[in-house]
Amino acid sequence: MPDRFYVPEPIASERVTLGGEEAHHLIHVLRAKAGLAVTLFDGVGSEFSARIERVGRTEVELAVEGSALVSRELAIELTLAVALPKGDRQRWLVEKVVELGVRRLVPLQTDRSVAEPLEKALIRLRRTVIEASKQCGRNRLMEIAPPRNSIEWFAEPGSIGVADPSRRRAMADPRGAIGAREWCETLRSTTAMRSALVAVGPEGGWTDSELELARAHGWDVLSLGPRILRVETTAVALAAFFGLE
């Protein structure tokens, strides 16, 4: 498969100019020359076959030779709301859930959060989304949404409606009475199911008030077994239940 590069602007002509980090990778890492075939993708579902025409000092000009709508997305639109861990564990989490097909990641600020989702960190994570999408072949970028407060999030019917049978909400917690794998597999096998939202708490777990609030607003509580898992392990396991065929 040709190397893949992300184009943030809509591709509407037969010529494309790459700059920034994508051009830097072509020029200084791959040492690309005119004539090299590559694949471009626009982040919203399309990919394009292209060939390098000119390599400049900071930009690369390409001729677009063909395009196609190629979906490698999950059948169910999966949103993960996560109390992010510290440091490099955030990047690892984002990389893996992109590979597994998660549509949206919502950073949650919870009662026991250990990392504040600052905008500078979110910008770096959005770059990780691009790099992971280039590697795994996704043509639609996973969205990293603005941070949300857990109390407001659990109480809001909003994005995943409680009364809508095609949408389901759940939170992961060792006190859950529902098996996470079975819950996810049931949703996957339900043809009318369109989307699901799963919340993953911080290292110290959900507080009793968060758990009670979620239950009061119709959230299922899922268990991943008798062992206490790290935040990123929980997030990846839940995504894998949906994303691995």
Residues 52-100 pLDDT 10s: 999 999 999 999 999 999 999 988 899 999 999 999 999 999 999 999 9
Which uninterrupted H or E stretch holds 77? strand 77-82
pLDDT in tens, 200-245: 999 999 999 999 999 999 999 999 999 999 999 999 999 999 877 6
Q: How far is CA 185 from the centre of its chain?
A: 20
For the domain 77-243, what is the CATH code?
Answer: 3.40.1280.10
Task: Give residue 160's pLDDT.
Answer: 43
pLDDT confidence bin for 162, thresholds 50/70/90? very low
Distance CA 245, CA 120 (A): 35
The residue ranges of every structural domain in the chain are 4-69, 77-243
Architecture per CATH, domain 4-69, reads as: Beta Barrel (2.40)
Confidence (pTM): 0.90
Using an 8 Å Cβ cutoff, are 166 and 193 in contact?
Answer: yes
**Cβ count within 10 A of residue 158:** 10
What does the block give as tokens for 193?
Answer: 């199911």
